[in-house]
Structures are given as structure tokens and as C-alpha cells.
């Protein structure tokens, strides 16, 4: 077994390299995304969101959990990899044909003919990913996140600049489609340069039953997760149309960008690490609690800070065309720290070989969250946003119970992890709201935005240091090593 100290050092190195790559991509992509949002219309983003509902669903079927299985197995043979490669080819080809043929049905559902060819064009990304799944999983399994961060950098920049080029030249929604396909092609090349696959698929299913059982559970998790994550777009698109969906999609995209990027950084390093130490409960508890605390220290100030500055930020950065996105962005940002923590809780449980516990959480989420959307849609996109606040806490509390069972982290310990970041961020919100009401209300939006951000940073940092002297040391230990 790999020594714990080696796992820790490799995980931290991987985390740092992954962070460098993704932060670099994020900074550039944020600038590109802002410019693209300023160029395109809510209808363009709405059409893309309608199509992405279906591509997201099939993206969780096409790997059949084999990517996670390749990472999670303690020992992995060449024969197993060849057999998995064969299965991945078969599944991807089948899903590509299904999506391409059924695209008119999706257009009929939305009563939007343009969806047909948008969805068919996006389906080619499935063919490209055939040759990405295995090498990408092996990079993560080996904790070679330096190479993985370079892959992310290349593909992210390619997708961003391709989207910007086509948006600038008036291609509308097709600019977003081109970015997806271009990013996938760049990832294909970069991944196979970093981890060349020097074996052919083996046309045999013998001995894959244990992998199928684990991978099948992971796949069912991901399918159900995509159902409740995409149900909002599905319902808004069907009942309200592309323009309101575009407003909601942009609000969700901008508010959740930090979650998407940071979760990818942490999860890539953590999942294989938890898999290696799953037989050592004390190490698991130690690593898991530190990871959750770091995420909480990051998530609450960032997302609640987004809620605090959404109004001046949208006015300054996106312009009057997107003013309707302000309130949805503020509401969604409130729940996102909890979604981010929940996401890592599922990584811990999967890494410890307990995907059935995650599946129970996902079944609950798939039951209550879409029901909340169906009720909330009566009040438009604002009602859908509020339904996140009402329904998701039940899922989080159930996940806490499952985490207690699998990782032996008690309810009190979990509460202590989030207490200081939550209280500090709440006080930060109070400070920023007071400044906006009593000081910067008459200021130009750009000055109000800068003043609000500065006050929020000072307020949050001061309260954290005052309430928990160990928090700065924890953050420093990750940065410095």
C-alpha cells in the first residue's frame, strides 16, 4: 500500500498543479465569458441550455462509471483497461446514434425547431470523447495532475477563444456549439499527448462484472444527478421559452463558475487519495475534515460575496441587457456553498467504496428538487431559484447522515466545519449590505463594486481570524506544503 505521507504529498502536489491550471483557465475564461455574454442574447443561451439538458444526461451514461472505476480500483491490469476501452467505444457509438436520431423529438418537446441541429452538432462531442475517457482516468489515478492541469489549460483556452471568435462574427448560438466541439478536440489531442494509450480494445466482457457493479452504481448516481441538476432548465425551457431560460442559465453559469472550477480541482486529487486510504479510518477522517473545512472557508465568502456584488457587477460588466439576471444570481449564490460541500461529501463516500450511500442521497434529490421546480415555475425563474433554497437543505442533511455512516464523521464535527465560515460570511453580507445602503447607493456602479468587494474581503478575513486561529494555518499548509 502507498504510504499515507506519500499519498498526502502527491495529493497536495496534484492539488497545486490542478489549481494552477484551472485558475489560469478560469481567469482567461471569465474574461472571455463576460465578453461573449455581452455579445450574445438571452435567446442564444436559452437555446444552448435546452440542448445541453440532453447532452448532460447522456454524458453520464456514456462512461457507465468506468472512469471512476479505473481510478478507484486498488490494482488495475492491462487486460482490464483494454476491455473497458472496448465497452466505452460501444456505449459511446450507441449514444451518439441515439442522440443524433432523437434530436427532432427534443425540438418537439420544446416547440423549438432550432434545437434539432444544435443537438446533432453537440452529439459529435460524444465521438471525440471515446479517446479521452481512459487516458484521462489514468492521469487522475496516477495523481499526475500536473499533466491534467495542462490538458485543462489547453482545452479551456481553445474552447474560450473559439467561442469568442464565432460570437464576435455573429454566429449566435453556434458560437457556443463551436466552443464545445473545439474544446473537446483540443482535450483529445492534449490528453493523448500527456498519457498515450498504447493498447487496442479487447472485445471481451469476461471478468468485468465487479467493475460493472461499481461503475453501474456510479452511473445511476450521475444520471439521477443530471436529472435534478437539469430539471430546472428543462422546466423553464418548456414553460417559459428560450429567452427566460437564457437569463437563468447565465445567472447560474456566472454564479456557479467558482464551484465548477474548484470542485474539479479538489475532486480530481481527492477521489484517488480517498480510494488509497479507505482501509485507514483515522486518515480518512483527518483528510476529509480538512478538505471540507478548506472548501467551506472558500465557498461561503466567494458565493455569498457574489450575492452581495451581483447588482453593481452585472450593471458594470454585462450591461443593461442582463439586468433580469441579478436577482436569480443572488438567490442561487446563497445555496451554492452548500451544494459545493455536498459534492465533496459524495466524493468522500464514493472514494471509500460506498456509492450506494451516495445513490440514496441522489434518489432523494431527484424526488424533491424537480418537484420544487414544478411548484416554483408558477412564479417564473425567481420561483425556480427560490425552490433551490427550500428543497436542497433536506438533501444536504441526509448526505450528512450518510457521511457519518461511511466516514465516521459525526454531526457535531460536520457542524463545526462550516460554523466559522458560515458565520463569518453572514457578517460579511451584513457589512456589504450596510455599505451599499448607507454609503455607496449614490456612487457610480464601478466605484460601488470596488468598495463592496474590499469591505467584504476585510470583514470576512477579520472575523475568520478572530473566531478560528487555525484556519489561516490550514490554508497556508495547502499553499506552502
DSSP class per residue in 189-252: HHHHHHS----------TT-HHHHHHHHHHHHHHHHHHHHHHHHHHHHHHHT-HHHHHHHHHHH
Q: What is the pLDDT of residue 1?
A: 46
CB count within 10 Å of CB 289 equals 17
The C-alpha atoms of residue 51 and residue 230 are separated, in whole angstroms, by 11
Question: CA 175 to CA 376: how far, in whole Å?
Answer: 31
pLDDT of residue 368: 95
Give, for all 481 residues of the chain, the pLDDT tens digit: 445 555 445 554 555 555 555 565 667 777 888 899 999 999 999 999 999 999 988 877 766 666 666 666 667 778 877 888 888 898 889 999 999 999 999 999 999 999 999 999 999 999 999 998 888 888 877 777 678 878 888 898 899 999 999 999 999 999 999 999 999 999 999 999 988 888 888 887 777 666 666 556 667 777 888 888 889 999 999 999 999 999 999 999 989 887 776 666 666 556 556 656 666 767 777 888 888 998 899 999 999 999 999 988 898 888 889 999 999 999 999 999 999 999 889 888 877 777 788 889 999 999 999 999 999 999 999 999 999 999 999 999 999 999 998 888 899 999 999 999 999 999 999 999 998 888 877 888 888 888 889 999 999 999 999 998 888 887 776 665 5
Please name which of 143, 137, 155 lies closest in space to residue 64, comparing C-alpha atoms.
137
∠ CA 130-135-138, nearest 5°, is: 135
Query: What pLDDT score was predicted for residue 446?
Result: 85
DSSP structural state of residue 317: I
- The residues near 70 (Cβ < 8 Å, ≥ 6 apart) are 76, 81, 84, 134, 137, 138, 141
Euclidean distance between the first and final Cα of the chain, in Å? 23
Give CA separation, 374 vs 339, 366, 368, 406, in Å: 20, 13, 10, 33
Axis-axis angle for helices 173-194, 133-141 (nearest 10) = 60
Q: Is 309 helix (H, G, I), strand (E, B) or coil?
A: helix
Q: How far apart are CA 405 and CA 285, in angstroms?
A: 12
The CA distance from 273 to 142, in Å, is 10
* Helices (H), ranges, 111-194: 115-129, 133-141, 145-168, 173-194
Compute the C-alpha angle 265/86/264, nearest 5°.
Answer: 5
Burial (CB < 10 A; 0-12, 13-18, 19+), residue 320, is exposed
**Is 55:184 a contact under the CB 8 Å cutoff?**
no
Query: 162 vs 43, 254, 364, CA distance in Å?
Result: 20, 19, 39
Decide if 287 contacts 4 (C-beta within 8 A).
Answer: no
Q: Collapse the DSSP code of 272 into the 3-class scheme (helix H, G, I; strand E, B; otherwise coil) and give the result.
A: helix
- What's the pTM value of the predicted model, to 2 decimals? 0.83
Give Rg (Cα) of the chain: 22
The candidate with the shortest Cα–Cα distance to 56, out of 334, 249, 271, is 249
What is the distance of C-alpha 133 from the center of its chain? 18
Burial 221-235 (b: 16+ CB within 10 A, else e): bbbbbbbbbbbbbbb
Q: How far apart are CA 418 and CA 295, in angstroms?
A: 9
DSSP letter for each residue of 26-60: HHHHHHHHHHHHHHS-HHHHHHHHHHHHHHHHHHH
Integer Cα distance of 350 and 227 in angstroms: 19
Amino acid at each position: 500500500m502507498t504510504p499515507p505521507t506519500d499519498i498526502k504529498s502527491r495529493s497536495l502536489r496534484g492539488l497545486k498543479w490542478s489549481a494552477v491550471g484551472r485558475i489560469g483557465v478560469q481567469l482567461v475564461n471569465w474574461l472571455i465569458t463576460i465578453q461573449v455574454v455581452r455579445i450574445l442574447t438571452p435567446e442564444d443561451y436559452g437555446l444552448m441550455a435546452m440542448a445541453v439538458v440532453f447532452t448532460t444526461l447522456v454524458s453520464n451514461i456514456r462512461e457507465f462509471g468506468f472512469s471512476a472505476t479505473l481510478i478507484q480500483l486498488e490494482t488495475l491490469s492491462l487486460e482490464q483497461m483494454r476491455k473497458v476501452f472496448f465497452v466505452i467505444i460501444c456505449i459511446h457509438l450507441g449514444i451518439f446514434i441515439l442522440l443524433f436520431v432523437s434530436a427532432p423529438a427534443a425540438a418537439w418537446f420544446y416547440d423549438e425547431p432550432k434545437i434539432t441541429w444544435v443537438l446533432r452538432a453537440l452529439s459529435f462531442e460524444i465521438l471525440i470523447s471515446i479517446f479521452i475517457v481512459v487516458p484521462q482516468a489514468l492521469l487522475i489515478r496516477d495523481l499526475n495532475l500536473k499533466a491534467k492541469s495542462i490538458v485543462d489549460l489547453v482545452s479551456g483556452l481553445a474552447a474560450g477563444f473559439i467561442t469568442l471568435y464565432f460570437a464576435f462574427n455573429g454566429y449566435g448560438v453556434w458560437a457556443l456549439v463551436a466552443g464545445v466541439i473545439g474544446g473537446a478536440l483540443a482535450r483529445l489531442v492534449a490528453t493523448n499527448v500527456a498519457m498515450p494509450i498504447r493498447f487496442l480494445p479487447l472485445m471481451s466482457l469476461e471478468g468485468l462484472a465487479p467493475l460493472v457493479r461499481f461503475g453501474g452504481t456510479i452511473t445511476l448516481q450521475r444520471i439521477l444527478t443530471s436529472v435534478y441538476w437539469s430539471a430546472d432548465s428543462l422546466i423553464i425551457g418548456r414553460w417559459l421559452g428560450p429567452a427566460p431560460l437564457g437569463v437563468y442559465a447565465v445567472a447560474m453559469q456566472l454564479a456557479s463558475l467558482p464551484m465548477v472550477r474548484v470542485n474539479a480541482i479538489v475532486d480530481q486529487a481527492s477521489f484517488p487519495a480517498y480510494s488509497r486510504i479507505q482501509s485507514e479510518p483515522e486518515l480518512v477522517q483527518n483528510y476529509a475534515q480538512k478538505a471540507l473545512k478548506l472548501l467551506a472557508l472558500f465557498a461561503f465568502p466567494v458565493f455569498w460575496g457574489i450575492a452581495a456584488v451581483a447588482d453593481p457587477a452585472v450593471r458594470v460588466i454585462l450591461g443593461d441587457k442582463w439586468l433580469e439576471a441579478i436577482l436569480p444570481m443572488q438567490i442561487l449564490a446563497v445555496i451554492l456553498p452548500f451544494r459545493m460541500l455536498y459534492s465533496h461529501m459524495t466524493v468522500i463516500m464514493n472514494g471509500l467504496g460506498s456509492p450506494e450511500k451516495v445513490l440514496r442521497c441522489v434518489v432523494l434529490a431527484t424526488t424533491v428538487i424537480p418537484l420544487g421546480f414544478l411548484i416554483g415555475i408558477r412564479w417564473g425563474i425567481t420561483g425556480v431559484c427560490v425552490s433551490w433554497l427550500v428543497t436542497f437543505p433536506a438533501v444536504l442533511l441526509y448526505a450528512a447522515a450518510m457521511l457519518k455512516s461511511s466516514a465516521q464523521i459525526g454531526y457535531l464535527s460536520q457542524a463545526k466545519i462550516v460554523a466559522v465560515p458560515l458565520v463569518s460570511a453572514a457578517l460579511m453580507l451584513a457589512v456589504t449590505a450596510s455599505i451599499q445602503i448607507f454609503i455607496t447607493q449614490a456612487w457610480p456602479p464601478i466605484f460601488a463594486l470596488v468598495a463592496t468587494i474590499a469591505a467584504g474581503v476585510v470583514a470576512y478575513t477579520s472575523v475568520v481570524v478572530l473566531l478560528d486561529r487555525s484556519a489561516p494555518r490550514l490554508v497556508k499548509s495547502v499553499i506552502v506544503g
